[in-house]
Amino acid sequence: MKADTILVLGSTGKTGRRVVERLEKQGVNVRHGSRSGTPPFDWAERATWASALNDVKAVYITYFPDLAVEGAADDIHAFTQQAVQSGVRRLVLLSGRGEAEAQRCEDIVRNAGVEWTLLRASWFAQNFSEAHFLEPILAGELALPVGDIGEPFVDADDIADVAVAALTEDGHVGQLYELTGPRLLHFADAVAEIAKATERQLRFTCVTMPEYVAALEAAQLPPDVICLIRYLFTEVLDGRNASVQDGVFRALGRQPRDFSAYARATAATGVWTPAVDDSAPSF
């Protein structure tokens, strides 16, 4: 499909900015779908949608904060209707594994009456370096309410590669790709991989959900964010997603990047290196 303009929602997010970078390298006309974009796009302000969709032929849909939150399905339904009415011919949705609410949104996109591709992704490897796990890792300990549950962490670069292919090529229409990494890891395994890559002493600690919620409340996270985190750790990380899938290979003809490769490459950037306190006295 030759797309005049591709709208990338969440263009400043973990996958969105990678999709933008790849599309722009290909010379595609990309519209940044964010509150800072021109024109701006905001899921909470439906009045911004029409301008963002003007002259757009394909859309990469990511929903903030997560498709599992209340109201997500209503927003996805309203947005896809408006997109189709404005002339969009292809929708590519980033979804999540094991989330009933996300699958409701998948059905909405599937039945929108235009070309579609669904990307159902596992937990991002980049949650350890670009999200809420980074600060604890810098401090030396990651404490989470999850035990011996395997998760096939997927690299955001792999998701972006699949998304770009789905947006710009014809062979992915009508496909559901379950995107995972090549092996299962416990969260303790992932922290151990990061410790090895950084040559630091890092510890993973399993805590109870009440203990974790209390820590989130002490950090003054909004109640709706705490509710979402509780859902993800009690529902999504209950073992239902402890399997490796072949979505990356089916879409790209290659294996997904392993977590150890992600850890080595990320460690080389210095993001996991604690800052030196220059105010401390030296003796």
pLDDT digits (tens, 9 = 90+) for 139-155: 999 999 998 999 999 99
Do the Cβ atoms of 116 and 93 come closer than 8 Å? yes
Residues in the chain with pLDDT < 50? 1-3, 278-283
Q: Is residue 220 situated within a structural domain? A: no
Q: Which helix (H) or strand (E) holds 204?
A: strand 203-206
pLDDT value of position 224: 87
We report the CATH number of the domain holding residue 19 as 3.40.50.720
Left (φ > 0), alpha (ψ -120 to 50) or beta: where does 87 sit?
A: left
Q: How long, in residues, is the chain?
A: 283
Q: Is residue 65 part of a domain?
A: yes
User: Alpha-carbon distance 5 to 2, whole Å?
Assistant: 9
Flag whether 218 is in a domain.
no
Is the residue at 234 inside a domain? Answer: no
Domain that holds residue 42: 6-122+156-180+243-256
Which position has the token pair 């595609």? 28
Q: How many domains does the chain have?
A: 1
CA-CA distance, 125 to 5, in Å (whole number)? 30
In a domain, residue 130? The reply is no
In this prediction, residue 231 carries a pLDDT of 87
Q: Looking at the whole model, is its pTM more than 0.85?
A: yes
Residue 161 half-sphere exposure, CB side, CA atoms within 13 Å?
A: 17
Structure tokens at 278: 């220059």
Specify the pLDDT at position 277: 53
pLDDT digits (tens, 9 = 90+) for 59-103: 999 999 899 888 999 999 999 999 999 999 999 999 999 888 999
